[in-house]
A and B are shown apart, each in its own frame.
Chain A
Amino acid sequence: MSFINEWGPTIWTGFLETLTMTSITLVISVILGIPLGVLLVNSSNQGLHPNKSLYTVVNWLVNIFRSLPFIILLFLILPLTKIIAGTTIGIRGVILPLVFYCVPYLARLVESSILEVDSGIIEAYQSMGISNGKIIVNVVLREARSGLVRGLTITTIGLVGATAMAGLVGAGGLGDIAYQYGFQRYQPSVMYATIVVLIVLVQIVQTVGDICAKKLQRD
C-alpha cells in the first residue's frame, strides 16, 4: 500500500507521458505512413502507376530510416527537430524523431498488407470504369483494413518501446522511470512496477488490435 502511495503518482505520470507520446506520434504517423505505403505499392513495377525513379527514392529513404536504431535517430535529426518543433527536449522535442522512426516502419507494414489484396478485385473495379484513385481509397484500403489494423498494432507496440529512450531528452515516460529509478538509483521494485504496467499496456494494445482485425476480416 505504502509503495503505491509513494510511487503511484510517479508511475501514473510516466504512464500518461508514454501514452501522450505514443498517441500523438501514432496519429501523425498514420496520416503520413498510410499514404507512403500506398505510394510504395503503386509506384512499384506492379503498381497502378509505376514510376521507377520515385519508387527507388522512396524505397531507399524508407530503408535508410529503418536501419537506424531510435537512439541514433534521436540525435541524428536534432538540428531538424530544433527547426520544426522549436525545441529538442521534452515531449515536444521527441515527437519528430518518433515520427521519423515510426513512419517508414508503418509504411512497410501498409505496403505488405496492401499487397495481400487480390489483384483480381482491382481489375474488376477497373473493368467497371472506376478511376484508380477511387479504387485505392474505397477498394484497396478497405480490403486491406484487417492487415492495416494488425500493422498498426505492431507499430504501436514498437512505439511504446521507442518511447523508453525519450527520457534521454527529458520527455519522461515509463521507460525513463524504469531506467532512472531501477538502474541508476537502484530501486528495483519501481522498475518491476513499471515493467508490469508496460506489459499490461502492450497486452491490452495487442488484444484490442487482434479483436479489431478479426472483426474487420470477414472471411
Chain B
Amino acid sequence: MRSEVQAVQDGLERLGYIADPAIATAVYLSREMRKPLLVEGDAGGGKTELAKVLARLLETELIRLQCYEGLDVNTALYEWNYPRQILRVRMAEQEGRSAADVEDLIFSRSYLLERPLLQAITRSRGPAVLLIDEIDRADEGFEAFLLELLSDFQVTIPELGTIRAEHVPYVVLTSNRSREIGDALRRRCLYLYIEHPTLDKEVRIIRAKVPGAAEQLADEIGRFVQALRKRHLSKTPGVAETIDWAQALVVLHRDRLDADVVFETLGCLLKDHADVESTRAADIEALVAGARAHQGGA
C-alpha cells in the first residue's frame, strides 16, 4: 500500500475510526484529486462519522447540511435577514436617503444569513469539510442545484453578485440509497461504498468504541452479529447497532454472551419488531453457541 494511503488509514484509526484500505484509499484520492466523495452503504455503517473524523484529521471545521424532503436554497445556501432589513429601511426613511442608496445598504453582506453551503464557500481560514448528509432525502431539483455548486464552487446572489470560494472545501456526501443518486452527481464525485465490516474489523471497532468491552466479549459480539447478518432480516444491523449493543452489555457487566442476556438485549441490535420476534423464536442458543465456539483456545 502506498505510504500516503497507509498514513490516512493510521490517522483515521488514531482518531478512533477503524478504516479499511478501501475507505483510506477513497479519502486519500478525494483529498489529492480535490473531488467530492460520495459515500453510500447501509444505515449505521459509519458514513457520517467518516466526514466528522476527516474534519478532525485535517484539523478543520465541519460544516454540515442535513438534507430532507423539501430542503430549498433558502435553508441550504443563504437567506436575507428580513427583520433587520426592514428596520434599516425605516431608519433610512427618516434620514431621507435615496432608494438606490437604501438598496445598496440593505443588500450587503452584513444583512446576509449564511447557510451551510455558503459558509463552506466563504470560510476564510482554509478549506472546511462540508458534509452533505443523506442527499437521497432531498428533491432531485436540489441535487441539480448541488451539481452546479460542486462544479464551480461559486454562488450567484442576484442582489450581491457572484461569490467565489476562497478555499474549495472538502466535500463528503452520504446517501442511504432510499433513492438512486443521479448519474450526473455521482460522476462529479468519487464513489465509496461502505460494506458491513469483516469480523476482524468489527471486533477492532468494538474495542475502539467501547473500551469497557473485554477482548473476549468483543470477539463474541462480533461473531454473533456477523452470523446474524447472514440471516434473512428486514433491517440488517449496522456497526452503529453493534456498538449500542456492546455498550448495553458492558453496562450490564457482562463479559461473555449467554442466551438469556441476548434474549433481553436483542432490541439494541434489531430495530424491527418482526426481526426481533423471528430471531427470538428461532435459535438464540445456537447463535450464542456459534459465537462462543471459537473461544476455546483464546
- A and B associate in one complex: no
Interface residues of A (CB under 8 A from B): none
